[in-house]
Structure 1
Amino acid sequence: MKVKIINRSGHELPAYETPSSAGMDVRACLKEPVTLQPMQRALIPTGLYIQLPHGYECQMRPRSGLALKKGISLVNTPGTV
């Protein structure tokens, strides 16, 4: 399947890190660091724009390590694109 992706992040496109990976890591596209206070929420851009075929979706999920160790998660998990 071909998916049109525009990458304005400055990072490489997400890719599977191992043959058995189920998902890819997406990086933040920030001009400066973001500091969150307890219970604060922020919209963090990725710099990625994708055009999915009808009937398909992309999901954003928190990294389990960040959620467990740092309390950083996604508000609407999983986030559907």
Structure 2
Amino acid sequence: MTIRVINKSNNSLPAYETLHAAGMDLRANLEAPVLLKPLERKLIPTGLYIELPEGFEAQIRPRSGLAYKHGISIVNAPGTIDADYRGEIGVLLVNLSDQVFDVNPGERIAQMVVARHEKVEWQQVEELSETGRGAGGYGHTGK
């Protein structure tokens, strides 16, 4: 699949870090480090503008290494970039740790997964089909 992209940053285009990776790393497009205090959130620009084909979305997800090592996540994870959006991709980072974190220029801050999606048409009914699970929700399968 080919996606049209404008890159207004000095960073490389999003890339897969390993052969079978689903996500491409997004980098911070910053002139200087941005300080992210504990429990603070900031919108970090990437300098990227994309043109997704109809029927696709780009999901913006946290990087597991930043989450594990520093408590850095994404407020609206996963964020969704729709096929008709033409603005800059921004990543809404949040610092869930008790330590200050510096977001550095060019730092890998998130992953982007491009995925196909379907349009839904609702069919309103009076009852749904039976399953083994039924209406069992949170914690219904045990501890």
TM over 0.5: yes
Larger fraction in strand: 2
Which position in structure 2 is the counterpart of 1:15?
Answer: 15
Which position in structure 2 is the counterpart of 1:48?
Answer: 48
The DSSP-based 3-state class of the residue aligned with 1:65 is helix
Unaligned runs of 5+ in 1: none
For 1:12-38, what per-residue CA distance to the aligned partner results, in whole angstroms no more than 9, with x for missing partners? 111112211111111000011101111
Unaligned runs of 5+ in 2: 82-143
Aligned residues between the structures: 81
- CA RMSD, Structure 1 to Structure 2 (Å): 0.9
TM-score, reference length from structure 2: 0.54
1:68 positional shift: 1.5
For 1:24-70, what per-residue CA distance to the aligned partner results, in whole angstroms no more than 9, with x for missing partners? 11100001110111111100000000011111000110111111211
1:2 positional shift: 2.8
TM-score, reference length from structure 1: 0.93
Identity of aligned residues (%): 63
Deviating above 4 A after TM superposition, structure 1's stretches of 4 or more consecutive aligned residues are none
